[in-house]
Structure 1
Amino acid sequence: HRCSIGTPGGFFERVKDGTWMGHVVEHVALELQTVAEMDTGFGRTRETQTPGVYNVVFSYVVAEAGKRAGKLSVDFCENIIDGKDPKLDEIIQELKVLREEYKMGPSTSSIVDEAVKRGIPFFRLNRGSLVQLGYGKNQERIRATMTSQTGSLAVDFAQDKWETKSLLEYQGIPVPKGVETSRYGRAKDAVKKIGYPLVVKPSDGNHGRGITVGVNNNNHFEIAYEAAMKQSKNGYVIIEQMLDGADFRFLVINGTLVAAAKRIPAHVKGNGKLSIQELIDTENENPLRGYGHENVLTEIDIDSQTERLISDAGYTLDSVLDKGEILYLKTTANLSTGGTAIDILDSVHPANVHIAERAIKIIGLDIGGVDIVAPDVTTPLPENGGGIVEINAAPGFRMHLQPTEGLARNVAEPVIDMLFPPGKSSTIPIIAITGTNGKTTTTRLIDHIFKLAGNTVGMCTTEGVYIKNRMIYQGDMTGPMSHKMVLTDPTVDLAVLECARGGMLRAGLGFKTCDVGVVTNVSEDHLGLRGIHTVDQLARVKSIIPEIVKQDGVTVLNADDDLVRAMSEKTKGKIIYFSLDWKNNSTVSNHLKDGETAVVFDDGWLCMMKGQWKYPIVDVKDVPLTFGGKAKFNILNALSAAGAAIGLGLKLENIKAGLVTFFPSHAQTPGRLTMTDMGDFNVLVDYAHNKAGYDALIDFVSSYNPEKTIMTLCVPGDRRDEDFESIAESCANNVDTIVLFESYLRGLEEGEISDKLKKYLMKYGMEDDQIIIIYDEQSAVQYCLDVGGQYDFVILSNYDVDDTHFKIQAHKEKLEQEKSA
């Protein structure tokens, strides 16, 4: 708790001096997690413009526990203020339970940590241990210690203990003799043949479930048989000879023995004073032991197996063991049941290394655990009477990562070496696009360019998520969950991700770095929402994209926009500027003097500039998106898209091919400057949504010199009054008839949006009869289509893009039928 003071305990100095309550809540949330064995320490609290309301950010180890800690920290502080008992112990236990329920296990987390250390990104795919490492087509997946390279046939063999035993025995691997059966009578016959002591286990179990070791009489056998049959899924049980010696676990990864441990079952050692119960309690107080997987060792619980072992030894929990006497409390040595592990890798005999590696190869596993019972492993198993008793397809790593004694082994390292050998990429190129206007069109254009170049592109836009040009999810998909959809798709080799303000403020991004970052522009939009009240603050949000561009990546910036141009100071990557008027832009001129790259509009051409050299890409008249150069904002969008493609090394001929085949249409740019010729008049659909958008739209329409301009208009109810006014001012001076409709009321009553807009439209010169109010969006659309006359321009600035498109097509067909009649 250094806080801004920077020294241990600095937070408490801040408390003495006086600090925000939100700041206190932040530190309580961090401390609650840390006490619950989730050590974390990053936090920030910022005051909003509303007194007493704060934006609080803090880190977590387990998401569900972290979110709950936020709520509990508020309750804790309120209870302290009210003089009530905050019930700290209950809070900590609740967080521990959440931690165990949702945290990654030690094996999974070790592999993820190793991946992160190498810069390999990851996604957790479920609340368990299923994790994706890497992105797109270069991803690998793990579930605990099973990987996407683990063969299903090998897992089937390993889960069928009898099949495993038979395969190994056939190949000359030492295994104990035994019998597999589903009938109790045959099992009793096997007992007579093999003789006590025995091991009884389910044929298809794992993690030590249902296994009983040291069965030495008929009564014990009956109990062991029932326990094994209860855990058996296929109804078969194995009765086998119990080998003499200790329990060893060898770990083989990618054909190589990487770790070996001697496993000792949970036990207590008498001191002549304490009872068995007291010895267990004392051992559980060992700081190395903890709840679940929170520590190196797991607490010893007293179950029916423990009670039977104590009873078989002639004791009860109240009995006192003699000094030095050892009492085993479990029949198996699994760490999850309280066992301990001693690293012995360096003492393993080479013959036994060969046996273990060969056994895993025979079964066919990429990662396998070999369970051996032998007097020792310093001499060959065939000589000392030892043997392999089991092969595990998903061996736990904890005993090797944190042995009770001996050298800890980084067994996650060879896993990552296997999944991502030298030369194999773990990621795919990511192009991230943000800005106030034009980002959706730019995103779609970049997608189109790379699709034509042969890439399988995953794209997120305000319309939905697309994989290889097919929509897989509809909606405004510009936040982190949408990014994750693309990055987890194993067919995608390039991600083009639109990143909107709302998603970034609400939940951040779905990736930590990108190869190319594009910022189209920054202007007033959505101000007054989520703590963003000024254009400078909005620019700060948008600048996140340049900030996360990789050091060897490229940032594409609008040199004609002061706020975007300033983002050059925030990026680590190389910069490609784009500009409509580069000759009068000193930033671009100086950039080119330094030998850098820019994409510019020059004498009617889109060109790439490298230092003093100019490389024409395409004549603007051949780019359908620009409407022959009339749509200046789409020239900028085309330049930014070209800059992004250049940033990833695409050839200019590929970029040209994309630019000349990308048409402003409902199929390629829904709701973004799509024009339909109705015969006598034109209909233009564009979701302008802010003052800069409407200014650009009206400027474009004016270039056609229409007889009359008719327009639908609505502003979402959560916008500021000054936004209503600025949009109304832009439209009032340039539109002849405005039809107001209502959508996205967002807290306002029906009629309030229209009343506000009408008030401001009339303030800036429109007459009452120029303003039509039709609350229903599609009725407003139909009205405009019905009144459109010769040489008119109908602008439909609508939200329901699909229905608007269908209305236009239906009206066009109607007009054509009337003409031909």
Structure 2
Amino acid sequence: MNNTKRDMKFLRIMSLQGPNIWTYRPVLEVWVDIGELEESPSNTIPGFTDRLIAWLPSLIEHRCSIGERGGFIQRLRDGTWPAHILEHVTLELQNLAGMPGGFGKAREMDTRGVYKVVVRAWHEDVTLASLHHARTLILAAMDDRPFDVAAAIEDLSDLAESRLLGPSTRSIVDAADDRDIPSIRLNAGNLVQLGYGAAQRRIWTAETEHTSAIAETISRDKSLTKQLLKDCGIPIPEGYDVESPAAAWEAAEDIGVPVVVKPCSGNHGRAVFTNLTTREEVEAAYQVALEEESGVIVERFVPGQEHRLLVIGGKLVAAARGEIASVVGDGRSTIEHLVTVQLNADPRRGNTEDHPLNPIRIDSAATLELARQGYTAESVPAAGTHIVIQRIGNVAFDVTDIVHPSTAAMVALAAKIVGLDIAGIDLVVEDISRPVLEQRGAIVEVNAGPGLLMHLKPAEGQPRPVGQAIVEHLFPADASGRIPIVAVSGSTDTTAIARLIAHLVCLNNQRVGLACRNGMFVNRRQVETGNRANWAAAHKLLLNPTVETAVIETSGRELLSEGLAFDRCQIAVLSGIDANEDLAEYAISTDEKRYNVYRTLVDVVLPNGAAVLNAADPQLVAMHDLCDGEVLYFATDASLPVIAEHRAKQGRAVIVDNEEIILAHGASTTQLISLAQLPPMAMATHQLLAGIAAAWALGLDFDLIRAGLQAFTDNQS
């Protein structure tokens, strides 16, 4: 075949940002035209499979439909089509860029050579870039042209690092996910909403909405922090703010050497000089610390090692010890070279978040430390000589299990004194397993927004579930972070159903958000006009901290083009599936495909929720077993066999019998209201029953439902 015909064209790319017809998670759905490659499965292209495996040997881990390691490679050798290969290569490039593997599908469409390729989208930009790299790589492998795999992976890794949540925030979001608490990213950084509507909490890495601005300001003022701690009986190193080199030495003499010189405000260990004993050292350290532009403090040197203790919600949850970085002379190498080969060669050191230890630099602090020992970076120490390069830093050696109980209580008190719900307490002691007071240890700093990586990926010791601790702090064991979400869809006028449900819930003293074709409403007040039965409007309701119940109308088109704005719902209402509904623009043309579209809503019903289904529609009845929660039927014909069978199993149904609306639960029945008692409504009876069934599933009182029906008019939301 002529190589110029080897191409894959992307006809359409849709970002499905929530549960969809493919999976519960966000995906990219790509329509791919492979053209003449339809006649060229992988086993017909000489050398292609071997080149692809050589470039991406980790494809051996893809099990594919065969279900075992190496399954995808077997498919390649047996012959598979480029769209299927595109799916796997895209996922693998994402994986090599630092994202976990994920869901993928490749399915033929009605047009010859055109496929739907679906891949898990951890971040739309990263997945899109992976898709384009995958296409170029596959075509290069087919044509035996060069492709720089390493450069592509580096490009994707850089993009992922700039787009994805940081590891600290990710640990919290993952812990929330383990609790089935939903999350919404609020900006391009690490500001995240956990939960929906009025049940939400917000985090910004290790700060929460409970983190006081006053407390954070106090923590940045070292002198004020120390004074507050001292006044409450917490041991701190005595010290003074100073404004000149001479004043720094005068303070050192007053305190008594050795001393520490450091900037007044939080600086993550920068320009901190310890164990200073001479005027020259103190004045030199002052000049460097002054460059941080926050003032300089001189305080008593506390012998021992630096420790970081993490307090969350008044409890110590993790502790790490710092390292004293040193090298050993060999009689031949400069200290600078020894730092390179003895310290920075450690694979645990690096500049990325995957490295628990930072590279050691001979900066101003290290230069001063060397000078105190009689060396420079270019010195060649004698063999066997130990030279200290850095006395503080790289607090990444887990010691949580040996912290003395009195120390745990002390740091919890320190966080409370400053006012922080999450605090990183810097403590200097010789032995963390002994009480602080008996070894003249001291708390030297209290930090807001502490880093979590040292506890998640310590250089040594056990990782600590600090993300889980933060989630437990924000959400007690019985809190789900969820508000009731009622999703309404189907073939008939779902807008009327959604409006009725919102009206009834509003009467129940719940602040209701409604997104429907008539607009977006919050507690009857219209906040947006036009058709708002879409992802964006639903998303806004879930962001709104005043919304206690959300009623969201969606259609087949929105499901296919956007996905759902929520991960799970309390109630899914389906009025029916129209066999004539035109979804051809999304390649949905059969009853089976329409069924798969609308079943999405039933699939996401919570175990304590309900699917409200039209018993007169056989396709909806067939969804009964897909629901994790209860199924509640509605029907204008009380004699339908499915109603009888459902009630025989103690199921609930809303039906009409002798012009009366009946709430049936097993064999028991409650007469709700006569149709003749209702005001004129612009909706069919089965739509009215759907709204009533949803209200019943939400637990609304029968008298309230009855009164709400009599008060409902067409101009209400």
Q: Structure 2-normalised TM-score?
A: 0.84
Superposition map of 1:408-487 within 5 A: 408-487=463-542
Paired letter, 1:238: I
Q: Which has the higher contact order (CA 8 A, sep 6+)?
A: 2
Give the superposition deviation at 1:168.
1.2
Partners of 2:456 and 2:480 lie apart in 1 by 27
Partners of 2:544 and 2:563 lie apart in 1 by 20
Give the superposition deviation at 1:214.
5.0
Give the superposition deviation at 1:11.
0.8
Paired letter, 1:240: E
Give the superposition deviation at 1:579.
1.1
Paired letter, 2:486: I
Deviations 1:410-431 (A, max 9, x none): 2333323322223344211111
Paired letter, 2:317: V
Gapped runs of 5+ residues in structure 1?
334-338, 669-821
2:211 corresponds to: 150
Paired letter, 2:469: P
2:546 corresponds to: 491
Partners of 1:326 and 1:465 lie apart in 2 by 70
Kept after mapping to 2: 8 A contact 1:40/1:60: no
1:240 corresponds to: 299
Partners of 1:601 and 1:471 lie apart in 2 by 33
Deviations 1:194-214 (A, max 9, x none): 465543333222433454445
Kept after mapping to 2: 8 A contact 1:197/1:241: yes
Kept after mapping to 2: 8 A contact 1:625/1:662: no
Give the superposition deviation at 1:62.
4.8
1:678 corresponds to: none
* SS at structure 2 position matched to 1:503: helix
Paired letter, 1:292: T
Partners of 1:282 and 1:12 lie apart in 2 by 42
Give the superposition deviation at 1:544.
0.5
Paired letter, 1:650: L
Matched, 1:129 2:190: yes
Matched, 1:548 2:608: no
Matched, 1:394 2:449: yes
The change in CA–CA distance for 1:210 and 1:303 in structure 2 (over 3 A counts) is closer
* SS at structure 2 position matched to 1:577: strand
Partners of 2:363 and 2:564 lie apart in 1 by 47
2:614 corresponds to: 558
Kept after mapping to 1: 8 A contact 2:281/2:368: no
Give the superposition deviation at 1:644.
0.7
Paired letter, 1:257: L
Matched, 1:208 2:278: no
Paired letter, 1:294: D
Kept after mapping to 1: 8 A contact 2:181/2:480: no
Give the superposition deviation at 1:389.
0.9
The change in CA–CA distance for 1:599 and 1:340 in structure 2 (over 3 A counts) is same
Partners of 1:323 and 1:412 lie apart in 2 by 45
Which of the residues 54, 57, 69 maps onto 2:130? 69
Greater mean alpha carbon deviation, residues 396-405 or residues 281-290: 281-290
Partners of 1:307 and 1:88 lie apart in 2 by 41
Matched, 1:169 2:230: yes
Give the superposition deviation at 1:102.
2.6
Give the superposition deviation at 1:449.
0.8
Superposition map of 1:531-680 within 5 A: 531-583=587-639, 585-624=640-679, 626=681, 634-665=684-715, 668=717
Paired letter, 1:138: A
The change in CA–CA distance for 1:331 and 1:519 in structure 2 (over 3 A counts) is same
Kept after mapping to 1: 8 A contact 2:326/2:390: yes
Paired letter, 1:205: G
Partners of 1:27 and 1:310 lie apart in 2 by 53
* SS at structure 2 position matched to 1:626: coil
Partners of 1:60 and 1:271 lie apart in 2 by 52
Deviations 1:353-407 (A, max 9, x none): 3322222222122221211122223333333232111111122222223322233
Partners of 1:313 and 1:195 lie apart in 2 by 21
**What RMSD over aligned residues (CA atoms) do the two structures have, in Å?**
2.9
Gapped runs of 5+ residues in structure 2?
1-61
Partners of 1:309 and 1:506 lie apart in 2 by 62
* SS at structure 1 position matched to 2:585: coil
Matched, 1:264 2:323: yes
Kept after mapping to 1: 8 A contact 2:519/2:528: yes
Paired letter, 1:142: I
Kept after mapping to 2: 8 A contact 1:100/1:293: no
Paired letter, 2:597: V
Greater mean alpha carbon deviation, residues 1-10 or residues 24-33: 24-33
* SS at structure 1 position matched to 2:570: strand
Give the superposition deviation at 1:556.
0.5
Greater mean alpha carbon deviation, residues 268-277 or residues 378-387: 268-277
Which of the residues 255, 259, 273 maps onto 2:314? 255
Give the superposition deviation at 1:638.
1.0
Superposition map of 1:322-341 within 5 A: 327-330=387-390, 332-333=392-393, 339=394, 341=396
* SS at structure 2 position matched to 1:357: helix
2:151 corresponds to: 90
Greater mean alpha carbon deviation, residues 285-294 or residues 527-536: 285-294
Deviations 1:764-803 (A, max 9, x none): xxxxxxxxxxxxxxxxxxxxxxxxxxxxxxxxxxxxxxxx
Kept after mapping to 1: 8 A contact 2:320/2:395: no
Kept after mapping to 2: 8 A contact 1:29/1:73: yes
Partners of 2:398 and 2:203 lie apart in 1 by 25
Paired letter, 2:409: H
Deviations 1:730-787 (A, max 9, x none): xxxxxxxxxxxxxxxxxxxxxxxxxxxxxxxxxxxxxxxxxxxxxxxxxxxxxxxxxx
* SS at structure 1 position matched to 2:322: strand
Which of the residues 504, 514, 521 maps onto 2:576? 521
Give the superposition deviation at 1:44.
1.3
Give the superposition deviation at 1:230.
4.1
Deviations 1:245-291 (A, max 9, x none): 21111222222222222111555556667764475367555444455
1:783 corresponds to: none
Greater mean alpha carbon deviation, residues 616-625 or residues 11-20: 616-625
Give the superposition deviation at 1:510.
2.0
Matched, 1:55 2:55: no
Paired letter, 2:711: T
The alignment covers a number of residue pairs equal to 654
Partners of 2:163 and 2:327 lie apart in 1 by 31
1:797 corresponds to: none
Matched, 1:26 2:87: yes
* SS at structure 2 position matched to 1:472: strand
* SS at structure 2 position matched to 1:50: coil
Superposition map of 1:671-820 within 5 A: none
The change in CA–CA distance for 1:417 and 1:569 in structure 2 (over 3 A counts) is closer
Give the superposition deviation at 1:519.
0.6
Kept after mapping to 2: 8 A contact 1:517/1:555: yes
Superposition map of 1:353-368 within 5 A: 353-368=408-423
Greater mean alpha carbon deviation, residues 374-383 or residues 281-290: 281-290
Paired letter, 1:578: F
Greater mean alpha carbon deviation, residues 596-605 or residues 261-270: 261-270
Paired letter, 2:173: V
Partners of 1:436 and 1:38 lie apart in 2 by 39
Kept after mapping to 1: 8 A contact 2:258/2:277: yes
Give the superposition deviation at 1:217.
5.9
Give the superposition deviation at 1:162.
1.0
Give the superposition deviation at 1:517.
0.9
Q: State the identity as a percent.
A: 36
Kept after mapping to 2: 8 A contact 1:205/1:231: no
The change in CA–CA distance for 1:378 and 1:576 in structure 2 (over 3 A counts) is closer
Kept after mapping to 1: 8 A contact 2:484/2:570: yes
Deviations 1:535-580 (A, max 9, x none): 4312210111111112222111111122222222322222111112
Matched, 1:294 2:344: no
The change in CA–CA distance for 1:425 and 1:72 in structure 2 (over 3 A counts) is same
The change in CA–CA distance for 1:72 and 1:326 in structure 2 (over 3 A counts) is farther
Paired letter, 1:560: A
Kept after mapping to 2: 8 A contact 1:40/1:61: no
